[in-house]
Chains A and B, each alone.
Chain A
């Protein structure tokens, strides 16, 4: 069974870049069966898909965030990462990573990232 774990700073200053990593265990990130994705949830609100990546490096981004998002994969570490640039308070959210098959069958526990000076 796959397990995913998000890690990264819980506080980011406005205009800076948010960086998170998702570590996958219980399976290989190079599996042809899965894509890997990031989803976020502002406090008290619904889910927003951020983007997805395949182990080959192919990426797909939410058009509303595309200009600020970069997702990358490190197969040697069984990890994939999210960078979101020029953050504002509106980017404050719980950020989840998930496995995609294409439904989202395994999720990380989520990590709260607050944008504040």
Chain B
């Protein structure tokens, strides 16, 4: 099983600042990685797939990078609606999936 580890568990950032979230895979997943945003009481929403491709309708302030075992989600200028929990997910051995444990992005 591929284990996905996200860091930090909680990230405190002020609105307008940049946020950088990390995700590490226990073995290479190539670029088969997605990022999801989840707000309280809502289903997760796909942000990024293929490690760096924004999903339909996702603002350009969201960007993904990395390949192999190290990945990063960057939010360039935080808006109030961006404070949420973010999950990474590998699909390299699709259709067997694993998610990271999540990073909570909170207002500083």
Stretch at the interface among A16-24, A41-49, A83-91: A41-49
Q: Which residues of A contact B95 (CB under 8 A)?
A: 35, 37, 52, 60, 100, 102
Q: Within the complex, which residue of B32, B45, B99 is in contact with A46, where a contact is CB–CB below 8 Å?
A: B99
User: Which of A62, A100, A103 gathers most chain B CB within 10 Å?
Assistant: A103
Interface membership of B87, Cβ < 8 A: yes
Encoded as 1 (CB less than 8 Å from any A CB) or 0, chain B from 81 to 97 comes to: 00000010101001111
Residues in chain A near residue B71, CB distance under 8 A: none
B63 to chain A, nearest CB (A): 16
Closest to A105 in B: B46
Question: Count the A-B residue pairs with Cβ separation under 8 angstroms: how many?
Answer: 55
Which chain A residue has the least Cβ–Cβ distance from B45? Answer: A107
Q: Are B43 and A49 in contact (CB under 8 A)?
A: no
CB contact between A104 and one of B32, B89, B100 (< 8 Å): that residue: B89
Q: Which residue in B32, B42, B46, B99 is a CB contact (below 8 Å) of A47?
A: B99
Given the complex, which residues of A lie within 8 Å of B32, measured CB to CB? Answer: 102
Which B residues are in CB contact (< 8 Å) with A63? Answer: 1
A96 within 8 A of B: yes
Known A37-B95, A52-B95, A103-B91: A46·B46 in contact at CB below 8 Å: no
* Interface flag for B69 (CB, 8 Å): no
Q: Tell me the bound Cα distance from A35 to B1 in angstroms.
A: 20
Among B42, B44, B95, B101, max chain A CB count under 10 A is at B95
Please tell me if B98 contacts chain A, counting CB pairs below 8 Å: yes
A102, A107, A108, A109: the one within 8 Å of B91 (CB): A102
Chain B interfacial positions (CB closer than 8 Å to A) = 1, 32, 34, 36, 42-46, 49-50, 55, 87, 89, 91, 94-102
B-binding residues in A (CB < 8 A): 35, 37, 46-49, 52, 60, 62-63, 96, 100, 102-105, 107-110
* 13 residue pairs A–B, Cβ–Cβ below 8 Å: A46-B100, A47-B87, A49-B99, A52-B95, A63-B1, A102-B32, A102-B95, A103-B34, A103-B89, A103-B91, A104-B36, A104-B44, A110-B43
